[in-house]
Amino acid sequence: QLQLVESGGGLVQPGGSLRLSCAASGFSLDYYHIGWFRQVLGKEREGIACVRSSGTSTDYADSVKGRFTASRDIAANTVYLQMNGLKPGDTAVYYCAAVHITAATMCREYYDMTTWGKGTLVTVSS
């Protein structure tokens, strides 16, 4: 059974940092692209980062480019999202999601993703 579990969310002050983890089980990251998404209640889910199956190809939404970094540890079958320079506008529930490499070449469009974690809440506030 394919499963993704996010962790690492919490409360952080503006300008602070957090690292989110997305642990995958039931499948190998070698065959899936992993996307990071976030959603504020009442707003559309936003794709903010993508780590392709190669582990070395990433892309980011303009809203997080230069502040967030996505990476992968293949041995741990885990994808990370390092978030620096956090702003109150980054407050959201953060999700990771997976899509098989034969189904899509990108991973920041929510409608492409086939497996989702349950999310972790990030709150940026003083």
Which of 79, 85, 65 lies closest to 120, judged by CA?
Answer: 79
How confident is the model at residue 99, as a pLDDT? 96
How confident is the model at residue 56, as a pLDDT? 87
Neighbours of 62 (CB within 10 A): 7
Residue-wise pLDDT for 74-116, tens only, equals: 999 999 999 999 999 999 999 999 999 999 989 999 999 999 9
Is the separation of the CB atoms in 39 and 48 below 8 Å? no
Residue 35 to residue 58: CA distance in whole angstroms: 9
3-class DSSP state of 110: helix
Is the separation of the CB atoms in 73 and 84 below 8 Å? no
How confident is the model at residue 33, as a pLDDT? 96
Residue-wise pLDDT for 27-71, tens only, equals: 999 999 999 999 998 999 999 999 999 888 999 999 999 999 999
How confident is the model at residue 85, as a pLDDT? 98
Is the separation of the CB atoms in 124 and 88 below 8 Å? yes
User: Confidence band (pLDDT; 50, 70, 90) for 14?
Assistant: very high
